[in-house]
Amino acid sequence: MSWWGKIIGGAFGYALGGPLGAVLGAAVGHKFDSGLESIGTQAGRWQTGDQQRIQTAFFTAVFSVMGRLAKADGHVSRDEIRMAETVMREMALDAEQRKVAINLFNEGKQADFPLEDVLEQFRRECHGRRTLIQMFLEIQINAAFADGRMHEAERHLLYHVCDCLRVSRFVYEQLEGMVAAQRHFHERAGERQAAGRSEPGIDDAYRALGVSPDASDAEVKKAYRRLMNQHHPDKLVARGLPEEMISVAKEKTQEIQAAWARIRHARGLR
């Protein structure tokens, strides 16, 4: 049975548990015994790092924390709701999955949402898979930019999220810069195409890869290959990304490839 099959079948308590399981239970409408579901106490049924368990944890954390982030500046804007809806649409969720995702988003907005406990369990469930944690953060950063800018309250909350996930401020700043540049590059590319111009700005392309225009060809190639490896859909799914999120990873790789193509053309690289 797939991770989603366990959720709709009511067996998610054995597949996840802990604070994440409690949040998911509220979203699905199930209630389980308080004696069940602490991490690593599944009587041998499930172990930390189990593929389906990680997928369930990722799905639950993404939408519930997104709801908490949307409320960070005091109100949930229509743009932030649209961002959540966009992620759901990109994942091609069916009606039942979409309902649960919306409920998770709403759970995250609640004043008593256990953010720190949820993030601690999510970190442990990922079992050191830094690429999964990075993908999670990129989705949250994109959500924060949904209304066109990063509010300070949102940034401070993301700092706290990184602290809970044991991600350094330096790594976060790199991620935020790249996400912002990739969004800008994508938007500028669309504007230029609409205006009949074929190529977006080269500076945006460098920022999208997280490198300086002064970087050597070797450094640019290395940055491109590293980002492609980190966002490779098949590798992410193998590490625990829900298959429903493959399209999100593919969109990221397309943005990275577009930036690389612009730089390669400008430098005359093969």
Both tokens of 38, joined, read 């602490």
pLDDT at position 33: 38
pLDDT at position 65: 96
User: CA-to-CA distance for 171 and 57, rounded, in angstroms?
Assistant: 23
**165 vs 32, residue with greater confidence:** 165
pLDDT band at 104 (very low <50, low <70, confident <90, very high): very high
With beta carbons less than 8 A apart as the criterion, state whether 82 and 76 touch. Answer: no
| Average pLDDT estimate for 253-263 | 87
Q: How many angstroms separate the most distant Cα atoms in the chain?
A: 63
In this predicted structure, the answer to whether residue 38 has a pLDDT above a threshold of 60 is: no
| Average pLDDT estimate for 96-120 | 92
In this predicted structure, the answer to whether residue 97 has a pLDDT above a threshold of 80 is: yes
The CATH class given to the 175-267 domain equals: mainly alpha
% pLDDT > 70, the chain: 81
Both tokens of 221, joined, read 């190639």
Per-residue burial over 152-162, b if 16 or more Cβ lie within 10 Å, else e, is: eebeebbeebb
With beta carbons less than 8 A apart as the criterion, state whether 240 and 54 touch. Answer: yes
CA angle 104, 255, 198 (to 5 degrees): 135
Average pLDDT over the chain reads 79
Enter the pTM of the model: 0.77
Give the helix, strand, coil percentages of the chain, each rounded to 5.
70, 0, 30
Residue among 135, 107, 127 nearest 27 (CA): 107
pLDDT band at 160 (very low <50, low <70, confident <90, very high): very high
Among 108-122, 148-162, 245-259, where is mean pLDDT lowest? 245-259
pLDDT band at 8 (very low <50, low <70, confident <90, very high): low
Q: State the DSSP string of 143-158.
A: HHTTTSS--HHHHHHH
Q: Where are the domains of the chain?
A: 3-167, 175-267
